[in-house]
Amino acid sequence: MDDHKENIHSADGNVNVSNGDDDNKLKEDSTVCPKEKEDAPRASNSDFSHAVYKEISLANGQINRMSKEELRLKLSQLKLDTRGVKDVMKKRLKSHYKKQKLAVATADDGQQADACYDYICVVDFEATCEEDNPRDFVHEIIEFPMVLINTRTLEIAGTFREYVKPELCSKLSDFCVKLTGITQETVNAAQPFPLVLKQAVKWLEEKELGTRYKYTFLTDGAWDMSKFLNMQCCLSQIRYPAFARRWINIRKAYRNFYKVPHSQIKLSTMLAKLGLQYEGRPHSGLDDSRNIARVALRMLRDGCRLRVNEQLHGGLLTPAPAWAAEEGAPPPRCPGNRR
């Protein structure tokens, strides 16, 4: 369903994106759920000699020795989600005990998910394509969807979708229509990208994101921003929007959190390992975004600290620096024209 993100080739030289294989090229972002710290509570404002850390460590050891059936039984007794593969269940149970024990130790009610950002905005662009996209194929965005997650209530707070009229090559390939379900009539009736971007900015502003509320973007892989949006901005002769410079790549966060091997990470496997099924039509941008949001919500409920982990810096895809992880995106603004 989503292996294409490894298949799409880079644009030619006039579009400044990093070549190569999505997040293969990136080093692991040490700021996001680092392996060595994964099972231990965060040390900030804490003293690791506190007895609670020993208790958590003992509980983790016991959980590591549990069979899949024992894990399922325990999760069910605790009225927690019993779906997913063994590693997912282990992580869920560990997170539960960690939260519970720390809540007792700090007299916190332990109910709130880790909410660094008030909102996380999931984006999954659809773009023009051909079968086995040629190396120099220039993708134009044809669907711009967003799904907004409220990280406090763990609910979907709103959705946005606009189709986009491609300008360089206005005729969609049969392959593209079949893949995305987006028809020629739909894009003919749509507005060009700069106008759709304006609408998207307005929608984000109305939600008071970046002003009243702290927010960031989240995508499935790095391509949505580093490739599709970057390339589209070059084509539309507008600057890359500052508010979309950093984002959470959910594949990296998922891999680090549930300890899943790199090769297995794509939307269909992320869902399957959580015991969830894809809902809707694969390659519909809005349905893809909704399903990505379901994975993100499950991770937040399982105790994952979702943090910005990638960025476009000087036109190149790089891991986000540690200091940026806790920062929200700036207020949305329409970018100016390129000179």
Which stretches of the chain bind ligand AMP, using CB under 6 A?
2, 4, 7-8, 124, 126-127, 129, 133, 139, 179-180, 283, 288
Q: Which does 139 bind (CB under 5 to 8 A by kind): Mg ion, ligand AMP, none?
A: ligand AMP
Q: Site residues for Mg ion, window 252-291 (CB under 5 A)? A: 288
Q: Which amino acid is at 112?
A: Q
Q: Which is nearer to Mg ion, 39 or 124 (CB)?
A: 124
**Residue 126 known to be catalytic:** yes
Query: Where do the H-state alpha helices sit in 126-220?
Result: 174-180, 184-188, 193-206
Q: Which does 219 bind (CB under 5 to 8 A by kind): ligand AMP, Mg ion, none?
A: none
Q: Which is nearer to ligand AMP, 97 or 228 (CB)?
A: 228
Cα separation, 147 vs 333, whole angstroms: 19
Q: Where are the beta strands (DSSP E) in the chain?
A: 119-123, 126-127, 141-150, 155-163, 215-219, 246-249, 310-313, 316-319
- Say how many C-beta atoms besides its own lie within 10 A of residue 322's C-beta: 12
Q: How far is the CB of 150 from ligand AMP (least distance, A)?
A: 23
Instruction: Give the β-pairing of 310-313 and 119-123.
Output: unpaired
**Residue 96 known to be catalytic:** no
Q: Which does 180 bind (CB under 5 to 8 A by kind): Mg ion, ligand AMP, none?
A: ligand AMP
Q: How far is the CB of 211 from ligand AMP (least distance, A)?
A: 29
Cα separation, 84 vs 104, whole angstroms: 28
Q: Which is nearer to Mg ion, 288 or 302 (CB)?
A: 288
Sort residue 154 into left (φ over 0), alpha (ψ -120 to 50) or beta: left
* Marked catalytic residue, from 126, 143, 162, 310: 126
Question: Which residue among 124, 162, 224, 310 contacts Mg ion (CB under 5 A)?
Answer: 124
Active site residues: 126, 283
